[in-house]
Amino acid sequence: MILEVSLEKRFPNFHYVADFAVLGDRIGVFGKSGSGKSTLVQMLAGLVAPDKGTIRLDGEVLFDSEKRICLAPEQRRIAVVFQHAHLFPHLNVQRNLFYGYRRTPPAERRIDPEGLCRVLDIQPLLKRGVNTLSGGERQRVALGRALLSCPRLILLDEPLTGLDDGLKYQIIPYLQKVFSEFNIPFLFVSHSLNEMRLLAEEVLVFEKGRLKGRTSAEELARQRLGTSQVGYINLLKLLRPQPDGDLWAYAWGDNRLILTEPGQKDENLFEISSKDITLFKRHPEASSARNLFHCRVSSIFEVGNRIGVELDCNGQKLVSQVVGEAVQDLGIRTGGEIYAIIKASAFRRLY
Amino acid sequence: MFDLNPSDLQAIWLSAKVATVATLLSLPFGVVAAYLLVFTRWRAKALFDGIINLPLVLPPVVVGYLLLLLLGERGWLGGLLSQLGVRVIFTWKAAVIASMVVGFPLLVRSIRIGMEGIDERLIQASRTLGARRLDSLLSVVLPLSSRSILAGATLMFARSLGEFGATIIIAGNIPGITQTIPLAIYDYTNTPGGDRMALSLCVVSIIVSLIVLLFNEYLAGRFKRETQR
């Protein structure tokens, strides 16, 4: 997908300016609330008319103030998944799902409804009324409804924001699965860094109605190291948990990690802050922490007064943070060897 | 008590006919007017709103007189119609028109309240899913405001049953042709010894209105259950 945007819109107390072109299928739009993310979504979908500028999607002009072109929302074939799902309350799940599908010309119906229902796990819900659904179910139905309209682009406008953490990370695998399987480009709008890292390849950062920069989600997470108290968040995909005494052992690539968190599913996602990874120059003979790795320093980056140390633990990446003085004391250099220890209780389950 | 003579029965039948036709004919216009007032933005909207609501505050006699000027033989619309061979005033059609104009604000108000309760995002969602404006009106706005449309229609129907002022001016008070229940009651009260007859028609009027209101409650309850499935 190629999306070229050059827009301006004035509100009574807000001036929105955006000028960018992106190439890719998984674009993130990141910014705090009030940064203009939702304004962008509304203008792209044709729900709000910009004051001036142009929007082009894959070369086709959707909006051009000079040529007086402004396609209606239904002509753009851009679907939106809203923060609060906005399912039609008078229709059941099935009729909600097929709302867009029935309005798509048969020749353009690229998505197989049955396959989609299977991927999203919504077959058992089809006959239910939408008011009986849980928050997570509602979002899955809203996602299915948008996908079934076979759009050229899906705008995900903070679809996970209203959900609690547990639910949120249950939906993310569905999103990943659905978009890789059905191959539809999306623009994912969120103020959550973790969501960005799990879903977006390239990230546009907005601040106060302006595009502040474009970067990768990983880079964004690294910048957080210097500004945020929580540090850099490592996302670890841990597999095949097995009981180990009263603790649990998970497979992390070729490594074995000991966690206090019991495992039920085969695939799990945990987060761990860079602050919870302690570095040692030599092998500490004994430590209270349950996880000890001998690793290689693959890179060092400085953010503010903190230094991020990227480690390679048998092929798995991990970022720890230290202060400048510690770099001297430990003799940390790129390519050098080092020991990292992590407490079994430092991990937080995402899903 | 119920000694209704044939002309009373005719009046009851005519009232029902006039109210039904007026309500049904007004419905599409009422829906469109409410939709325009709620979901669109344009400059003369406040004026439009005012004109629609005017019959609510004007004396019905004024409405009737203005309609008479408009639709009379020498009125511009009346002249046009008489060229086509259509005569409106002093027929039951005039009573329908009078009821339509007088009841219209009630219909629009009621529908409007229902439409204002619809989350605009639902309409936006339908548009992004490929529905044109009209499609979205039919598939989202109408079903979601069905209860208020029904309530508005009932209100208008009841108002039409009781319409007097505008009707007597534009349709006259011709027994069997334009004499509805209120006009018949008016006649009886002006006739010596007509009190009993007037009272019978009053009772009929009360019963019919009650039935209409109960029917409305029943339908509203059913709609509520259906939407809360």
User: Does some domain include residue B1?
Assistant: no
Q: Which of B121, B132, B227 sits opposite A74 (nearest CB)?
A: B132
User: Does some domain include residue B55?
Assistant: yes
CA A48 to chain centre: 25
Q: A106 touching B, CB under 8 A? A: no
- Per-residue burial over B130-141, b if 16 or more Cβ lie within 10 Å, else e, is bbebeebbebbb
Q: A144 touching B, CB under 8 A? A: no
Interface confidence (ipTM) of the complex: 0.81
Closest CA to B38 of B107, B112, B123: B112
Distance CA(A206)–CA(B149), nearest Å, equals: 44
* Per-residue confidence (pLDDT) for residue B227, from 0 to 100: 57
Q: Class of A2-226 per CATH?
A: alpha beta
User: Does some domain include residue B22?
Assistant: yes
Please identify among residues 179-208 of chain B the ones whose CB lies closer than 8 Å to any CB of chain A: none
Per the structure, the complete domain to which residue B202 belongs is given by 6-227
**Taking CB atoms and an 8 Å limit, are A146 and B129 in contact across chains?**
yes
**A233-349: which CATH architecture?**
Beta Barrel (2.40)
Range from A30-39, B158-167, B213-222 carrying the lowest mean pLDDT = B213-222
Q: B224 touching A, CB under 8 A? A: no
Q: Which residues in chain B have Cβ-Cβ distances shorter than 8 Å to A95?
A: none
Of chain A, the percentage scoring pLDDT greater than 70 comes to 100
* Per-residue confidence (pLDDT) for residue B228, from 0 to 100: 53
Q: Which of A74, A78, A146 sits opposite B131 (nearest CB)?
A: A74
Residue B136 C-alpha, separation from nearest chain A C-alpha, in angstroms: 10
Contact partners, residue B44, CB within 8 Å, separation at least 6 = none
Size of interface A-B (CB pairs under 8 A): 70
Residue B225's pLDDT band, with cuts at 50, 70 and 90, is low
The one-character DSSP state at A130 is: G
* Per-residue confidence (pLDDT) for residue B2, from 0 to 100: 64
Distance CA(B222)–CA(B9), nearest Å, equals: 32
Sorted by where each begins, the domain ranges of chain A are: 2-226, 233-349
Contacts 24+ apart (CB under 8 A), B58-61: B59/B165, B60/B98, B60/B102, B60/B163, B60/B164, B60/B165, B60/B166, B61/B165, B61/B166, B61/B169
DSSP string, B82-109: HHTT---TTSHHHHHHHHHHHHHHHHHH
Number of domains in chain B: 1
CA B61 to chain centre: 16
Q: Which of B121, B123, B129 to mutate against chain A (most A CBs within 10 Å)?
A: B129
* Per-residue confidence (pLDDT) for residue B229, from 0 to 100: 45
